[in-house]
Amino acid sequence: MDYKTIRKRRVMTYFIEAADEIIKEEGISGITIRKVADKAGFNSATIYNYFENLDHLILFAAMKHIKEYALALPKYLYNVDNALDRFIKVWECFCYYSFKEPEIYYAIFFANLDKDLSEYIGEYYNLFPEEIGVQPKEVSTMLLRHNIYDRGMALVDECVKEGFIREEDAETINEMCTLIYEGILQKVIKNKIDTDKAMEKTMKYIHLIVESLTNKNNKNK
């Protein structure tokens, strides 16, 4: 990392940590450019030298919270040797960590932000590579996508390549799993279901979806 990048990373970290404190105190909705600048000890204009807009800053602050999930993935995927088991295990890990911080995950993957923020994900992990850890190629490809539907398809496509899922069923499986997850995540946010029950229900439904549409010829592969 050259000096310019190191300096950029250091200053951006001040703002990210300030935004993170506000998230813990007031929630994501409490973040404003002025509040972050005041807490970090800079003027508001300086933030725009490092972040394009408030959405950019919010995403980076929220990304800090999914580090635990990203770094836990290798443990979940230990000894996994096929795409179908990888698909299930990634969902299991994602549900476990996202249901612990539902507002953060909802803000990253479902909130209606002003623009598509996918390009910022790569920038974030380039600046903070330690946040993603060492991942298999299929998983790192998935992690670099902002859209949760695209993340799921990256894993489903591998299942198609290995013959576990028929190509014509791929989008259906991904969409059903995503819709189930989003609905239960909203229930967790509204305190209508506890995290353990949310985890149990989501994984039960994902297993049922996958089992009903898995290519039976390759099920025991």
Q: Which pLDDT tens digit goes with each residue over 6-20?
A: 899 999 999 999 999
The CATH number linked to 37 is: 1.10.10.60
pTM for the model stands at 0.80
Contacts of 180 (CB under 8 A, 6+ apart): 202, 205, 206, 209
Domain count, the chain: 2
Q: Which pLDDT tens digit goes with each residue over 34-55?
A: 999 999 999 999 999 999 888 8
Q: Which pLDDT tens digit goes with each residue over 58-74?
A: 888 988 888 888 888 88
Q: Which pLDDT tens digit goes with each residue over 155-181?
A: 999 999 999 999 999 999 999 999 999
* Reported confidence tier of residue 141, pLDDT bands at 50, 70, 90: low
> Does 194 map to a domain?
yes
Domain that holds residue 36: 3-51
The pLDDT of residue 216: 57
> Does 56 map to a domain?
no
One domain for residues 156 and 90? yes
